[in-house]
Amino acid sequence: MNTPTILVTGATGHVGRPLVAGLLADGARVRALTRDPAAAGFPPGVAVTGGDYAAPGLLAEAVRGADAVFVNIGGLREHAGELIAAARGAGVSKIVMLSSIAVRDEGDQVLSLGKQHKAVEDAVKAAAADWTILRCGGFAANTLTWAASVRADDVVRFPYGEAALALIAEQDIAAAAVRVLLDSGHAGQTYTLTGAESLTQIQQAEAIGQAIGRPVRFEELSPGQFRQSATQHFPAPVVEDLLKALASYVGQTAYMTADLERIIGRPATTYAQWATQHADAYRRSGSAAQLAGDLFVTQFLVVSDQDRSRNFYQSVFGADVLRDRDPVILALANTRIVLNVGGGPTDDKPAVRLAPPADPDVSSGFLNLRVRDIAQAYRDWSARGATFLTEPKDHGYEIRAYIRDPDGHLIEVGQTRMPP
């Protein structure tokens, strides 16, 4: 029996990582496409490829020799069409696409998200005789955006608390994709994948509270309040899509199908189970009080790096912006992070700084952790009482974490990188 080679796009994302692991476990050869291969952190059995997707020939090389391709437009963005065309040109026999429940089969697309995914669905169907579409409902992982306010105030602030959704766990989507990519009988099928329970957003907040052992309340935002804050971080059409969808879910039982269970042969992960698995993201760090007096600097070379770093800390770690001008100052777990462009002196430069790795006060305590993603690394290190330093590197930005031992020395306990 031939061992298939599967190209996974969006390989370092919420769905991509468990998909890669599942394919490996089933004996497939896996090729992972990512913008920063050096920082991917996959095991040796994974062939990692990628770089700048706009580079001539890069996507054509990525699909060459693949038997099947998993298309995730969240990872490919504007390059999805180019990759699909490259797969068609390379004679790839099977394409599986991660799509959205927002797509309508008949009539005009109501949501911009549906319009975007429908165009790619049509390209996939034209490119391969053996195609399968996985239209997914709301991701449970989307509620990780609530983590910062839960950690800080035990509250979820969002519009339409009575909107009901059947959220699906990322590992369930990955499990379905494994079966569709490796098994026969799925050609020409469009599946709708959802969770198996209808929960309002208020009930989701309650489930998070049960997972972390303290009550979490839901604070209703008006659409206007949400729009004002959300459009600072997301395109306006995305925000409007979300508001329109949530409004339509109020007073309704969430739409659910049995497609997921039929494909993977087991019930969907419940939201309570998912919340328990991700409880550390919502818990306050036990070391926060110890860090409260420390002030650390993150230095970058150009203003664009500073802006990118601010967005990174906000989106991944849920940091609050205390000052949005040079130097930008963020608040995270009672620690101030200063983004000081160019490294010159500022009034906000701290009196106490983390020692760099070359400092004689840093003990040799590096544990060589295998980092799946930056958010998980943050949770792991926080649980160990770690503090943080970010350093610019040629390959991107290196996040180093330290524990201060009883003698006051810093012990390095982990590191990871974000791409440049």
Read off the CATH number of the domain in which 61 is found: 3.40.50.720
b/e map 379-409, b = 16+ CB within 10 Å: bbbbebbbbbbbbbeeeebbbbbbbbeeeeb
Asked, for residue 303, whether it belongs to a domain, the answer is: yes
Q: Are strands 199-200 and 362-363 parallel, antiparallel or unpaired?
A: unpaired
* Alpha-carbon span 352 to 372, nearest angstrom: 31
* Alpha-carbon span 87 to 77, nearest angstrom: 16
Asked, for residue 261, whether it belongs to a domain, the answer is: no
Asked, for residue 248, whether it belongs to a domain, the answer is: no
**How many structural domains compose the chain?**
2
Asked, for residue 301, whether it belongs to a domain, the answer is: yes
Asked, for residue 272, whether it belongs to a domain, the answer is: no
Q: What is the pLDDT of residues 163-217, one digit of tens each?
A: 999 999 999 999 999 999 999 999 999 999 999 999 999 999 999 999 999 999 9
- The number of helices, as runs of H, and strands, as runs of E, in the chain is 16, 19
Asked, for residue 91, whether it belongs to a domain, the answer is: yes
Asked, for residue 308, whether it belongs to a domain, the answer is: yes
Full-prediction pTM beyond 0.75?
no
Domain boundary among 136, 157, 174: 136
Task: Show the beta-strand stretches assigned E in 273-370.
Answer: 295-300, 320-323, 328-332, 335-341, 362-363
Asked, for residue 119, whether it belongs to a domain, the answer is: yes
Domain boundary among 101, 136, 171: 136
- Domain boundaries, position 333: 288-418
State the pLDDT confidence band at 300, using cuts at 50, 70 and 90: very low
Cβ contact 353:294 at 8 Å: no
Domain boundary among 136, 153, 168: 136
Q: What is the pLDDT of residues 265-291, one digit of tens each?
A: 999 999 999 999 888 888 875 333 222
